[in-house]
Structure 1
Amino acid sequence: MKTKLCNLLRPALLGALLATGSAHAQLQQLDRVVAIVDNDVIMQSQLDQRMSTIEQDLAKRGGPQPPRDVLQKQVLDRLILDNLQLQIGERSGIRVTDEELNDAIGTIAQRNNMTVDQFRAALAHDGLSYEQTRSQVRDQIIISRVRQRRVADRIQVSEQEVKNFLASDLGKAQLSEEYHLANITIPLPQNANSQQIQEAAQQATDTYQQLKQGADFGQMALARSAADNALDRGDMGWRQAAQLPPPFDRLLATLQPGDITQPVRAPGGFIIVKLVETRGNSAEVRDEVHVRHILIKPSEIRSSTETKVLIDRIYQRLMDGEDFAALAKAFSEDPGSALNGGDMGWIDPASVVPQFRDVMAQTATEEVSKPFQSQYGWHILQVLGRRATDMTQQAREQQAMNILRSRKYDEELQNWLRQIRDEAYVEIKQ
């Protein structure tokens, strides 16, 4: 939780000490400012709390940890960026409701195969505060929404870009496989001079040599990387090669899991990428059902009871052999299908309401269902056919769109983070 400057002006009276027969109130500083960030501050307690969380997480993962001063610098840099984004969120009126926060906490617990109560107990066991965890989750939701507004919404990918990508050799080659990646970024300041470039290049080369000699990639990322994912040990998650800027998109084809690239100069600095693992890309097949239906809805002039009587009569006429399409044209109150004899075409079962989907699944091909009720009224349906549709092309187009957006997003995000950091007033207290 952020602490406003006015809160710093409230001294804490710790107690009175007796000396030479008189009491003297002693004031003691319980907390201190470690950084001023535009209109807000970061307190030592915030830094300590985040350090404790990260150090516990690193201890669980095992392996050596970077020097504490190095880790503390990484954590403080992340807190500064987070604080700037939270201030933007506050100015933009972005809020997270308690219901949204509870849902997010529930999702985190579920991913760890826990109930919320078990999650709270696990936090307490690790010496972590549940309320502080909720606050951090709230902050991350706000930051995500800020990035969506300031970065993601500015990214546009045209249909022509998707077509060009799918037609390219790179697109054809890379859509068949995904890569789990990690990275280390040795930063360069904007408008870096030759000496700064040379120093960064030397640090990148030294980092690469240590990695080749067996240094742990995650530890090196923690100690040296300036990327936004440094505290995640450089983990980038699963990516398509085309989501990466050249030449990494081509270099991945030459790597085996565990391999790293040599340092590559990029706009933000020198980057080293590690291939953690790969996985294939399977075809997308979707089950579809060809169905038609008759819908009868209650209205101001027809009660629910009368509606049920009418749908039962229509069902009986169907059982007596009357034509489904003719009855649908005469009675159905679904404007989207009535004129077509109730025909809804081939549909994805996931696109209809649960009651309709369940009855459709239980109805054999060419069979007519008994009347059933949904939120829209009373239905009778007939299944005309079932098929498994190869959605690979549509999936590939969507995948290409996601790749191109993600590629642009990663570049734009890093540029935006550097921009807000450069434009902000930041004073780090020693």
Structure 2
Amino acid sequence: MQLNFGFSVGRGLSRWMKCALASLALASAPFAGTAQNLFAPAIIVNDDVITNYELGQRARFMALLRAPGNPEEEAREALIEDRLRAQILEEFDVIVTPEQLEQGMSDFAARTQMTTQEFLGALAQGGVEPETLREFVRINLGWREYIRGRYGEQARPSQAEIDRALANDPSSGSVSVLLSEIIIPFTPDNLPQVEQLANEIAGLNSYDAFSQAASQYSASETRNSGGRLDWLPINNLPEQLRPVIIELNPGETTQPIPLPNAVAIFQMRGIQEIAGGTPSYSSIDYATYMVPGGRSAEAQEAAASVLGQVDRCDDFYGLPGIDAPGVFQRQSQAPGAIPRDIALELAKLDQNETSTALTRSNGQTLVVLMLCGRTAAVNKDATRDDIGNFLTQQRLQSYADSALAQRRADALIVEK
């Protein structure tokens, strides 16, 4: 967890500080509320006093650092929160060593491209005492250590959570489509008949007729539900298919779409736009396991046995005979490089879900297909460690905010 100072302290700030120092030097009086009774209580937080002097110091400090908002108002809030943090640190015996404090001050000064002494000198010109910086850094360092120690284990993401984060692009928006499908396999012997049937189905113009045809002719696992698919993000579909689908009106069907060993026909049932929806993907990780026998009862039983032994893609590696040529393959490919029939099946799957709808070798081999994961284009250069660290920091910050909010809700705060 990084130091959270409540505002951004950017590089190149030294030039700004020179201008700010000049402005502050022109001010003949301290910040409002500090001219009289400097050491009188201004705020009491659970019996801990915040003086007018401290308020003035923090306001000047925040003004020099170009913190957003009104410096005096922000100083009051910041000091109240610091007192609450300090009380928690005292309860849990969290101590910042002199060495840690000096390093923390050095790190903070480096954000303005200064050494600690140069930074303290600049603050002194603006009327800010070294103790103001020292206490500010001490509280933040101690708070960071407390949050890490108390919530660090809970904040670590699981591998599944990292997978989901890799597949997510929160900045994107998308369209989702509600489709029905019919997948008709063919062999060289029955190809003319399949083509004729597919053309007839493509001419259907009612939901019921398409559903009946799916139940009768489709080899897809959706045949038991009349070919009906759930809502699919359009970006899950193969890139070449998206323009064809997006042009359909509800009730319309595509022309037959050739696939390896099959043809596909889709009917549009609905379309909706999702705000902040689904990402574009840079790669898709999937596994295929080949079962001889095609769609025979024996092959279906063997496939069911395989599926009973695997919950995720890594489980395939524990199956017997996995190293035999042509049995198992796991690969990560750009969406456009994936065979169209596999891409269509993957579009329907969530991570670690499977399909046995496809065949190879002219229908003589049944394909057990599993989606291992998707990587959003925005995350293509991110490693799993990068994502894991980001999620951990995000959660630690959330825990820190919650802990402080709860302490504040329970606190007695009196402003003079």
**Shorter-chain-normalised TM-score: which range?**
0.3 to 0.5
Larger Rg: 2
TM-score (normalised: structure 1): 0.37
The one of the two structures with greater contact order (alpha-carbon pairs below 8 A, sep at least 6) is 2
TM-score normalised by the chain length of structure 2 = 0.38
